[in-house]
Amino acid sequence: MKMLEEKRQARKIVKKHLWHSIVICFIVSTILTLGYKYNAQKNVRNYDTIGLFSLKTSNNLDIVENKLEKTRLQTISKKITSYKPTRGLLSSYFNQITGTGSIVLGILNANNEYIFRNSIPSLVIMIIGILIYILIYIFVINIITVGKNRYFLEHHSYDETKYDRLFFVYRVKKVKRVARIMIERSLCKILWNLTIIGGPIKHYEYSMIPYILAENPEITSKECFKLSKEMTKGYKMKMFLTDLSLIGWYVLGGFTLGLSNIFYFNPYKECIYAEIYMRLRKEVNSPLLKDTYLDKKGEKYLSKYYFIPEYKKEKIFKINYKIDYKLENLILLFFVFGVFGWIWEVNYRLFNHGVFVNRGMLHGPILPIYGVGGILIIVVLKKFRNQPFKLFISAFTLCGIVEYFTSFILEKTLKMSWWNYNGYFLNIRGRVCLEGLLVFGLAGWIATYYTAPILNNIFEKISKNKKRILVIILIGLFIVDMCYSIIVPNTGKGISKKISINQSSTLRRRI
């Protein structure tokens, strides 16, 4: 096996699929595997963890990174670690995760703090966290790791590969088998690491197991371990030298605060390992590696696997989200969304503070900003209806723009503020925050695919004359309320806050 040839081919592949690969590596390495635990006091890495067993591994790369730690900009680090939002659910999660250095324990602590008000003892929280982590490790992290390998194996042959390859083990319903083999692999690696010498050898011997499962999730444990051993026989030193040749990238990662890893090295490394597997796969020519799709070359993406059982999904009811909405129906949707927004905010205030307040600038039970946002998502984002992820991101962004400028206009014209997100995690001048925009983005997504089409079907059952009368009455009441509220806005405790010129400037400077 020519090491340079594998790296050269990997560079070609990662160049074609760089941005998609960055997303895949970020999801797997940073979010799902909990590989980068952020802690304000200490950064802990390189742990091979399985439940209660933690074995710290150290190598030359750790020494290099520890040296590079001293060269990093301390001012940037201090600014990041000192950021402590004080309001909202995301603030609790952020503060707990950064404080504990563990995503699982941080989430549990945040739930305890935000929902149960610290009624659960810390020891119980820790035990629950360990149990949850074991389950996540077995049935999520290991499964997604195999899915990631499937993604990069398909990159070897095809120009287009979808993100859903991360979940292919779930789709083919082989979770139990794959989870069992992967947990056996982890246990064996831990035991061999105790022998010191055997650890590195078995590391490379077992390295092909996730790739074998990515090709054939029906394989038995005995066959999988035997095949991985056969594939790596005589190549362990070459694989070690391949890893050693990448040390420059680890050094660069230290100098760039990990940015070079995120935006190039991680995808490049995954492509190299996938190329190594494809080479070894051809040399062993085992009947157990029978996925012919990986042997083909082509520009078009193949959406099926040879081992996926065919089945038909029967829809309980049909929802046509691609429809063109009539003007009368859009007006009715505006009022429905606006009333729903009012109910949401009133109940949110009632459950959190135990006080009923009439939210919004208007005196009637409606918040126009919800209606405007909902209609804009349905009309302006129509071209994204076949792309759910893009629709969510676009709805997230559009709602942010609407909310920010509505707050700005109300503040400038009426010298009043009806909402203030200062203290929330990642807010912009108190006018918008990440937590709220995530809710709006999700609500817009649900409204596009479910709520609006269902309501439209209901509206279509109303006769034209009755619908027009209803629309005219609603518009008339809204105009009267709007005109009166501009002169005498709905204000009071829990509703609005008066802002002076100096306070407004201070508010805009806060983040």
Contact yes or no for 268/129 (Cβ under 8 A): no
Average pLDDT, the chain: 80
Which residues, in sequence order, are CB contacts of 391 under 8 Å at separation 6+? 377, 381, 384, 385, 444, 445, 448
Both tokens of residue 461?
A: 């059952």
Contact yes or no for 404/428 (Cβ under 8 A): yes
Q: What is the rounded CA–CA span in Å between residue 436 and residue 77?
A: 27
The pLDDT assigned to 36 comes to 42
Instruction: Give whole-number Cα distances, 449 to 20, 90, 356, 386, 439, in Å.
Output: 26, 26, 32, 10, 16
How do beta strands 432-433 and 53-56 pair?
Answer: unpaired
Q: Return the higher-pLDDT residue of 40 and 201.
A: 201
DSSP state, residue 308: P
Q: What is the rounded CA–CA span in Å between residue 159 and residue 319?
A: 33
Both tokens of residue 107?
A: 């989430």
Residue type, position 8, single letter: R
Both tokens of residue 15?
A: 């160049």
Largest CA distance in the chain: 84
Residue type, position 313, single letter: K
Contact yes or no for 288/281 (Cβ under 8 A): no
Both tokens of residue 98?
A: 């950064």
Residue with tokens 């076949």: 386
Contact yes or no for 301/17 (Cβ under 8 A): no
Which residues, in sequence order, are CB contacts of 74 under 8 Å at separation 6+? none
For residue 65, the Cα-to-chain-centroid distance in whole angstroms is 27
**Predicted confidence (pLDDT) per residue in 151-193, tens digit:** 999 887 777 777 788 888 998 889 999 999 999 999 999 889 8
Contact yes or no for 286/226 (Cβ under 8 A): no
The candidate with the shortest Cα–Cα distance to 459, out of 340, 371, 373, 334, is 334
DSSP state, residue 208: T
pLDDT higher than threshold 70 for residue 488: yes
**Predicted confidence (pLDDT) per residue in 43-80, tens digit:** 333 334 333 333 344 444 444 445 444 444 445 545 55
Q: What is the rounded CA–CA span in Å between residue 7 and residue 87?
A: 48
Q: Return the higher-pLDDT residue of 79 and 321.
A: 321
Residue type, position 506, single letter: T
Q: Picking from 30-39, 128-137, 207-216, 289-298, which range would have the lowest pLDDT averaged per residue?
A: 30-39
**Predicted confidence (pLDDT) per residue in 421-435, tens digit:** 888 888 998 899 998
Contact yes or no for 371/495 (Cβ under 8 A): no
The angle, 0 to 180 degrees and rounded to 10, between the axes of the packed helices 327-353 and 368-380 is: 130
* 3-state secondary structure labels for all residues of 368-437: HHHHHHHHHHHHHCHHHCCCHHHHHHHHHHHHHHHHHHHHHHHHHHHCEECCCCCCECCEECCCEEHHHH
The predicted model gives 13-40 an average pLDDT of: 68
Residue type, position 172, single letter: V
The pLDDT assigned to 53 comes to 38
What is the gyration radius of the CA atoms in the chain, in angstroms?
A: 28
Which residues, in sequence order, are CB contacts of 359 under 8 Å at separation 6+? 342, 345, 346, 349, 367, 418, 495
Q: Which of 12-21, 155-164, 211-220, 285-294 has the highest mean pLDDT?
A: 211-220
Neighbours of 239 (CB within 10 A): 21
The predicted model gives 90-109 an average pLDDT of: 72
Q: Return the higher-pLDDT residue of 355 and 311.
A: 355
